[in-house]
Amino acid sequence: MIVKTGWLAIPASLLLLFGCQTSIEESTQVAAPAKEEILSHEILTPDADVWVLTFFDLYCVACQQSADNFAKLNTMLSEQPMDETVRVLGIGTGDTAFEVEVFLKRYPLGYRCIPDPDTALKYPFSLRGTPTVLVLKPSGNGWREVYRHEGRFRSDDLNMVLESVR
């Protein structure tokens, strides 16, 4: 029996051999959400005067090395007498809920952490990588950044965050 493959056989064979040149990311780019959408989406609630955000990734070695200092920061903030309400939130950049859970089992931070599997939160905060620590204070209808630390978070960096919170 002779099977006629037709004209589609050649392009199909080439596709199988070489693959598609357009990546999924290029063809399905996620639009950066507006900062107002993020701020109104229960992430930064108005019940806090100051927000400290820690961006991490389960597979990031510098994030793993910074985890103890993230936990120390949370402890220091909760022990400091302050006039303002300070909330700490961890964001698993590129991590699923499962991956955030794995990170927290290995490195208990002591504060709420949320997954951001499609990295939608990196856009409104101009995140360039992990780990990153941000301190945000109210400004008009939104929040303004008063402190940013990018890269491994060491014990020397703790006081800088505490100063920016005050």
Query: Are 124 and 34 contacting, i.e. CB atoms less than 8 angstroms apart?
Result: yes
pLDDT computed for residue 6 by the predictor: 52
The partner residues of 137 in beta bridges, in order of sequence, read 144
| Cα separation, 161 vs 88, whole angstroms | 12
Per-10-residue mean pLDDT for the chain, 166 residues long?
48 38 27 40 71 94 95 91 84 94 95 91 86 88 86 90 86
Sign of CA dihedral 109, 130, 33, 160: positive
pLDDT computed for residue 120 by the predictor: 87
| Cα separation, 70 vs 53, whole angstroms | 10
CA dist 24 → 12, 17, 76, 92 (Å): 19, 18, 43, 22
The partner residues of 138 in beta bridges, in order of sequence, read 143
Q: What is the CA radius of gyration of the chain?
A: 22
pLDDT computed for residue 89 by the predictor: 92
CATH code of 35-165, in short, is 3.40.30.10
pLDDT computed for residue 24 by the predictor: 24
Look up the pTM and report it.
Answer: 0.72
**The pair of three-digit structure tokens given for residue 10, joined into one six-digit string:** 């050649």
